[in-house]
Structure 1
Amino acid sequence: MTDLIAKDAFDRLPEQYRKRAREIAARVRDIDAVLKPCEPAKIGEAVVRMFRQFRDQPGVDHADMAAEYRTACFDLPEWAVSEAANDFLAGRVENHTGQFMPTCAEFARRARHILTPILAERSALRVEAGKLVERAEDDRRRHLIELERHDPNVRDRVAALAESAAAGGLKRGALTHTGLSAEKQSRLDALKRPRSFESKITTTRIGKGEARNAR
């Protein structure tokens, strides 16, 4: 438990979050148990199974091959090694022709691919455990806010603040319109009158030439 949540943090959690923390810890223990590395002999058994069905890789020494398999798979659980061998024997591995023995790297890669879902689950559980304290604190804050909202004194104080803010704001119609003097109004009206359009073409050189030709 302490590797997921510190003891002092766990003690401060509400019971519902303590329960979830215990569930996470139990599941992580189960996952760690099934990820226990296998014995070297089990790796050898998987290699022998494949060796009986596939051809030898050209120029490979059997003793060296066995040693490299043990090195590549030393941290893998027995069931993942067995499943990887089953996948190669059943032709479920892409890019493998099904003729030659897989290399130790190919075999270990397949076994680790099989572990991907369970490793992802363990990682997600650890992340969730790390956020339990934060979630509990958020719930506590929301609870306090909800209590304040239902407190009559708080409601009265909020209403008083709203009324005070409204009273201090600008009221509609408070500003009076002084209007314009007659002189200013007439000047504005003059600007609004449409001006007559006078063409300037007749004053240009081309326009004057056309006028002479017309005569």
Structure 2
Amino acid sequence: MRKKYYTILLILFCKALMAQITISGTGFGIDQSSGAYGADGTYTLNNSFTFTGLPVFDSGTNQYVTGGLVFSGLYFYEIIRRVNGKWTIAWAYNNTGTTHSGMLYRAQTSSTDIDPPCNDIWDQYKYNPNDNTPTGNTASAILTGTTCVNLPVPQNAIITRPTAQSLPQLSNLSINAIVNPQPGMILWSLEDSCIKVYNGTAWNCL
């Protein structure tokens, strides 16, 4: 009986070690026009990974790390982790004792999940330790794996059902990008989880 119990624990432990998430849709390597860096690749669950300069990831959440690419003594990592309620894809490298790190992408949707979203829009950041600012572009990064979380698909139109109506469901970035909004317009904010109405000057939760 004890042997069977230890076998089950070993299987669960091995599955946890093998948990992986694959990113596609961002490319690989640096984009000279935007200064961004692609994050495509396979990431493995590794909650013990730490790196000087990276912000601490949210307690109780998982982080996923690339294997650590080696280029002539330079160890380069990419890390998926949730920081202050939003999932990020960060980079870090160690070059013979000199460390640098920064952000590559940041999900637009706030999250309470322990694993990253399968489907979200990600704000893109410059790949530069001295200029870690948004490029102004977004990326539709696709995450696949057994642990990523499917988000509700945003709706851009009212859907009428026999018993109710569904409002447009948008991120705050998309809401603020609406051209010439009219007073009285209403929609659902995916990040604030509320109905927002435009009062002529700003979008506010009801």
Structure scoring higher RCO (CA < 8 A, sep ≥ 6) equals 1
The structure that is strand-richer by fraction is 2
* Rg comparison, structure with higher value: 1
TM above 0.5: no
TM-score normalised according to structure 1 size: 0.20
